[in-house]
């Protein structure tokens, strides 16, 4: 039998990072000592107290039964308590918070609950690629919204054509931003909420990097009056607690959207392992002890790495948060030329800005999620890199 794959599947290109992993493996097979700063996968191990709690929870037979899709009450209550401490906001754990199998899962499913075939979703450019997934699967259209350096990598709402706005049901954003490292202010969120309410558009603000900020704590869009009428926010334990492999996230905000997403997911998954949910609940409960050293670590790394890049002619605004540096190489060239040049001449693998969208062209993304010794070695290699062959 000849198996025919669906048109929908064919419309997906391989996930950007899979392509990069493949390239890295091929170079390693040639015997090269590749250092990869291409993906944002934190190297810092999960706090030993969270691990110890997880071990205890794994041994508890009560956790061996099915979880429920929206997440266990312990975790939803701890998430609500954390939002109260962190943002001064009260969320009902029953219908304003739902647990996800990593925020990526919820992000990919959200379009199904608000979009019909032909509806438009606004997606930033450059972007985190998963925002497109659900939109494409539910037959929606994507309208790219430029994030430009001159605007602090914030979208210019006035530039989105009104006829696009009229067809739009959903707008994905993420601050602190992957890939640019930019931050959003509460004033920006106020304007955005006002605009979204006027135009009847759901806002999905992805706060995966909200705890990796370098100056002021990153605000939540839900702090804006009226935001709960139009917005949900996605949270993740992956970067906050360096638990990327454990797969827990949550969605919080507008209860109609939170419950609708949960209703959809009840037909797809049965929620993450209760032992792991309880371990994340432990992390949230002890957040103020566990997270500041992680944040300080990323801040120190970013300061040292940015200084080294700038000393070698790279140009960029300093990141406000996240674990990324988004920079233009010392000579004007395409993102791919820059990435191949670094890979071939210095065995450094980075992510090409153009892979995140057309407005990413000319940039390279460095992910500071490798141990400090490796980052120092990258700094050393960058210093010796000769860019003259790419000078036009
Ligand atoms: C902007 C952004 N959102 C969401 C995610 C997914 O995080 P999670 O591990 O919670 O699925 C990532 C992961 O890299 C990300 O960069």
pTM listed for this prediction: 0.96
Contact of 239 with 208, CB cutoff 8 Å: yes
Q: Which atom of ligand 1 is nearest to the CA of 40?
A: 14
In this structure, the strands spanning 348-349 and 35-36 are: parallel
CA distance 69 to 277: 12
Question: According to the model, what pLDDT value does residue 16 have?
Answer: 63
Identify which of 20, 103, 175 to mutate to test ligand 1's pocket (most ligand atoms within 8 A of the CB).
103
Domains of the chain, each with CATH number or no CATH: 7-46+290-385 (3.90.1150.10), 48-288 (3.40.640.10)
Q: Whose CA is nearest to atom 3 of ligand 1?
A: 208
pLDDT recorded at residue 126: 98
Ligand 1 centroid to Cα of residue 127, in Å, is 11
pLDDT value at residue 263 = 98
Q: What is the pLDDT of residue 145?
A: 98
Task: Report the pLDDT value the prediction gives residue 388, as an integer from 0 to 100.
Answer: 93
- Closest ligand 1 atom to the C-alpha of 177? 1
Q: What is the pLDDT of residue 15?
A: 63
- Counting Cβ atoms within 10 Å, is residue 64 exposed (0-12), middle (13-18) or buried (19+)? exposed
Q: Is residue 16 lining ligand 1, measured as CB closer than 6 Å? A: no
pLDDT (0 to 100) of residue 98: 98
Give the end-to-end CA distance of the chain in Å, rounded to a whole number. 53
Q: Find out whether the beta carbon of 346 lies less than 6 Å from any atom of ligand 1.
A: no
Q: Each residue's pLDDT tens digit in the chain (392 positions)?
A: 999 999 888 888 766 667 667 777 888 898 999 999 998 999 999 999 999 999 999 999 999 999 999 999 999 999 999 999 999 999 999 999 999 999 999 999 999 999 999 999 999 999 999 999 999 999 999 999 999 999 999 999 999 999 999 999 999 999 999 999 999 999 999 999 999 999 999 999 999 999 999 999 999 999 999 999 999 999 999 999 999 999 999 999 999 999 999 999 999 999 999 999 999 999 999 999 999 999 999 999 999 999 999 999 999 999 999 999 999 999 999 999 999 899 989 999 999 999 999 999 999 999 999 999 999 999 999 999 999 999 77
Q: Give me the pLDDT at residue 68, please.
A: 93
Q: For ligand 1, is residue 244 a contact (CB within 6 Å)?
A: yes
User: Listing from the earlier edge strand, what are the strands of the sheet with 97-100?
Assistant: 97-100, 249-253, 231-236, 202-206, 168-174, 120-125, 141-146
What tokens were used for 82?
């954390």
**Cα angle 38, 40, 41; round to 5:** 115
CA dist., res. 86 & res. 102, Å (int): 21
The pLDDT value recorded for residue 22 is 77
């Amino acid at each position: 039998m000849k198996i025919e794959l669906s048109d929908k599947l064919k419309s997906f290109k391989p996930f950007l990072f899979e392509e990069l992993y493949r390239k890295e493996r091929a170079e390693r097979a040639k015997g090269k000592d590749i250092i990869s700063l291409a993906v944002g996968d934190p190297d810092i191990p999960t706090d030993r107290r969270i691990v110890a709690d997880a071990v205890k929870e794994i041994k508890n037979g009560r956790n061996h039964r099915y979880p429920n899709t929206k997440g266990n009450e312990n975790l939803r209550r701890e998430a609500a308590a954390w939002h109260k401490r962190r943002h001064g906001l009260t969320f009902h754990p029953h219908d304003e918070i739902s647990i996800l199998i990593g925020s990526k899962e919820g992000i990919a499913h959200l379009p199904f609950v608000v979009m019909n075939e032909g509806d438009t979703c606004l997606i930033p450019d450059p972007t985190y690629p998963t925002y497109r997934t659900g939109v494409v699967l539910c037959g929606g259209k994507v309208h790219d919204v430029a994030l430009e350096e001159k605007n602090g990598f914030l979208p210019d709402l006035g530039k989105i054509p009104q006829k696009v706005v009229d067809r739009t049901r959903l707008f994905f954003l993420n601050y602190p931003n992957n890939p640019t490292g930019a931050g959003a202010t509460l004033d920006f969120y106020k304007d955005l909420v006002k605009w979204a309410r006027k135009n009847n558009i759901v806002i999905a603000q992805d706060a995966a990097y909200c705890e990796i900020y370098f100056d002021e704590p990153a605000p939540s869009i839900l702090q804006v009056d009226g935001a709960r009428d139009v917005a949900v926010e996605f949270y993740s334990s992956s970067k906050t607690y360096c638990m990327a492999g454990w797969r827990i996230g949550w969605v919080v905000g507008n209860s109609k959207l939170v419950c609708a997403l949960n209703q959809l997911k009840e037909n797809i998954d049965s929620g993450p392992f209760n032992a792991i949910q309880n371990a994340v609940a432990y992390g949230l409960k002890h957040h103020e002890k566990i997270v500041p050293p992680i944040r300080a670590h990323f801040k120190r790394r970013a300061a040292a790495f940015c200084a080294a890049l700038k000393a070698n002619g790279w140009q960029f605004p300093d990141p406000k948060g996240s674990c990324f540096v988004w920079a233009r190489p010392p000579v004007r060239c395409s993102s791919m030329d820059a990435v191949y040049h670094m890979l071939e001449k210095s065995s450094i693998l980075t992510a090409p800005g153009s892979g995140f969208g057309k407005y990413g062209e000319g940039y390279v993304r460095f992910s500071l999620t490798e141990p400090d010794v490796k980052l120092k070695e990258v700094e050393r290699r960058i210093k010796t890199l000769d860019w003259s062959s790419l000078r036009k």
